[in-house]
Amino acid sequence: MSIDQGVVETHGLSTEEYRRLLDILGREPTMTELGIFSVMWSEHCSYKSSRLHLRRLPTEGSRVVQGPGENAGAVDIGDGLIAVFKIESHNHPSFIEPYQGAATGVGGIIRDIFTMGARPIALLNSLRFGDLDDSETGQATRRVMEGVVNGIGGYGNSIGIPTVGGEIAFEPGYAGNPLVNVFCLGVAQAGRLAKGLAAGTGNPVYYVGAKTGRDGIHGATMASAEFDEHSADSRPAVQVGDPFMEKLLLEACLEVMRTDSLVGIQDMGAAGLTCSTCEMGARGNSGIEIDVSLVPQRETGMTPYEIMLSESQERMLLVAKKGRELEVERVFEKWDLHAVRIGEVTGDGVLRIRDRGTVVAEIPNRELADGAPLYDRPTERPVSLDALRQLNLTLLSAPADLSETWLTLLGTPVIASKRWAYRQYDHMVRTNTVVRPGVGAAVVRIKGTDRALALSVDGNGRYCYLDPREGGRLAVAEAARNVACAGALPIGATNCLNFGNPERPETMWQLSEAIDGISEACRGLEIPITGGNVSLYNETDGQSIYPTPVLGVVGLLADGTQVLTRMFPEAGLDIVLLGDAFGALDGSEYLKITHGLVRGRPAAVDLCRERVLQSLLVEAARDGLLRSAHDCADGGFAVTLAECCVESAGGGARVELPATAEPDDGFGLVRALFGEAPSRVVVSVSDAERDGLLERANAVSVPAAVIGKTGGDRLTITVGGAVVADIGLDEAENSWTKGLTQHFEQVVG
């Protein structure tokens, strides 16, 4: 097949990129070489539009063992152990084929963790879908969501790794482009991290795991393109997962790593065998030579092009030490797997692909892996932003019944219980889970120690749409605050940056601003970024998603028995509000649900104040002063209070908020109940510990006020001596419990 401009374009390469390819090779490429360049230089693999900006993120810290550049990041957690974690996206595949797209997203992130030599112990996910009630897209959204949730549960449950929490949000802009971000945490022995590199001329290169098929070919290229009406045609580019094969692969790889017989190991994820050979060689300043005819295949007649670009799942590439071959092979045979020698490490720095001895590709490793174009794309602040940030509440009507508004918000899918999803996940497998999903940050114990790790993923597309820099700051702050509310010290973070088409200057401005916001918050809170993922081209028919950076934060508890949740544990406790009493309606869930508006400018986070608050929470929890803690987020104070009460042993609550002068716009009470702002937490304390908490808060200038008591069968909010909202606990639980489930009753029965 001749290579003309049309063939080049179908491979996602620009004219300039193709010229660069020709300069590197000094000749016309073979079709296999063209395919290899197309996937390695795709946005998904090369980060060619984002690398310049990602350099601004803080990646170093006293606990950082491994930062960006490997399969996952790692931080020191003491007791001779390290936590290994990462978050990645599988957005496009999950829209095209929801079950397998989500399932293979789980499988891929698990491999990233055990490739590092860590045993995976927990999964979280961050999901975003369209409006469930939309008359045109609601049915499709429910179908996609059902498939995604089933896929996550199907893979995680089968492989035996608990899915311990996450977040689910809904906005119309995600209808044609859902977001499926998956986070995985593992634990490894200090000093035993494995690396994805090839070194040592003559060392054998092994292929292990599932056989290669035609599924997933050009998956990386597909993930680097917008959606349109023809996207369903990309279904063959979605991989098919086998969690039972991955379980065998996991155990075999961890066992062979303990033998010290490996030089390096890497999973075949995006770009498959191409990416693993090329990147391992580049990291080791070596070349790799393989013969694709030796690669185990499950389909007949596969070409070198197809074998190199396939993204079939549950496959690994490893480099063994020469002379240790038999040892490696025996380990995999023990687990009913075959380690097949397909090549060796060379000293010439070239990726050389043979087919039955004939060379079909010969490319300098370094230029292929690290020589992808690096774009400093133009940025432009959206012209619509000034208008979007204008919020004139005098043009709106304040609700006549705040109690009814309260119940309505509790029943919105964003706020309502996610039990429908969580009940499909096995969160107790391996028995390390300390906190069940939905009651606070996820917490998993580290067996053999007194320690535990708290995990949280967070993001808010609405905030970033209105102010991407502040939205990035807020995402970091809330994820870290969730971890601190569990009593854990935040020690590391990973991010997944979900944005639209980077060729649009407005999108690049959003991405750049969000990265700056994340960087500022991570520096201010002293939480390093150890790695992550960038997912661009999240658009359908030219309509972009909200800019959606998602942050995953890991926190450390020295004593895993001192864990807090959001729930009031008993009646008769004092309720204390830490932080300001009132929030803002800009970009709030209230404004969206009640008035159908996404406008204003989200309340800014004071990073110094946020850091002090989080430190106070961690220290107070450590010293036994707190009985529960829950940050004020979507829906504001009233929703937070209700979430502390539902499903808890403490019953209802009666609180008194400070009186406020009603502003001219008539929304003073609405701000008090439903306004959103950072650095606010509702905690419960016993009478004996109340004064101690207040003294500590006062000493570090954190506003703290005793506002009520737990107990009873109602939730009552009083302002200035007058009851402004009053609902039954059973009403609140009913609205909150059914808010999401009711949309799937007709689907799941």
| Inter-CA distances, 416 with 145, 168, 480, Å | 16, 10, 22
- Find where tokens 């993930």 sit: 223
Catalytic residue among 11, 53, 90, 218: 90
- Find where tokens 């549950």 sit: 314
Distance CA 148, CA 142 (A): 10
Beta strands 163-170 and 529-535 are unpaired
Give the residue among 227, 165, 180 at the shortest CA–CA distance from 496: 180
Kindly state the tokens that stand for 586: 């800009």
Distance CA 550, CA 461 (A): 9
- Alpha-helical runs (H) found in 286-411: 304-309, 325-334, 365-370, 385-388, 402-410
State the CB neighbour count (10 A cutoff) for residue 388.
Answer: 17
Contact 172/134 with Cβ under 8 angstroms?
yes
CB neighbour list of residue 260: distance below 8 Å, 6 or more residues apart: none
Kindly state the tokens that stand for 614: 């989080």
Distance CA 117, CA 189 (A): 8
State the CB neighbour count (10 A cutoff) for residue 661.
Answer: 6
SS3 660: coil
| Inter-CA distances, 478 with 13, 522, 586, 636, 678, Å | 39, 12, 17, 13, 7
Contact 199/263 with Cβ under 8 angstroms?
yes
Kindly state the tokens that stand for 324: 């240790």
Torsion angles phi and psi, residue 280, rounded to 5: -65, -40
Beta-bridge partners for 126: 167, 181
Distance CA 11, CA 224 (A): 11
- The amino acid occupying position 711 is G
Q: Apex CA 541: angle with CA 538 and CA 545, to 5°? A: 35
Torsion angles phi and psi, residue 704, rounded to 5: -145, 130
Give the residue among 357, 604, 560 at the shortest CA–CA distance from 472: 604
Distance CA 260, CA 254 (A): 11
Helices then strands, counting H and E runs in the chain, come out as: 27, 27
- Which helix (H) or strand (E) segment holds residue 532: the answer is strand 529-535
Our answer to whether residue 44 is catalytic in this structure is yes
Kindly state the tokens that stand for 650: 């403490």
DSSP 122: E
| Burial (Cβ within 10 Å: 0-12, 13-18, ≥19) of residue 386 | exposed
End-to-end alpha carbon distance in the chain: 53
Kindly state the tokens that stand for 724: 């402004």
Beta-bridge partners for 553: 456, 493
Give the residue among 198, 362, 355, 168 at the shortest CA–CA distance from 284: 198
| Burial (Cβ within 10 Å: 0-12, 13-18, ≥19) of residue 157 | middle
- The amino acid occupying position 697 is A
SS3 74: strand
Contact 620/706 with Cβ under 8 angstroms?
no
Contact 39/361 with Cβ under 8 angstroms?
no
Catalytic residues: 44, 90
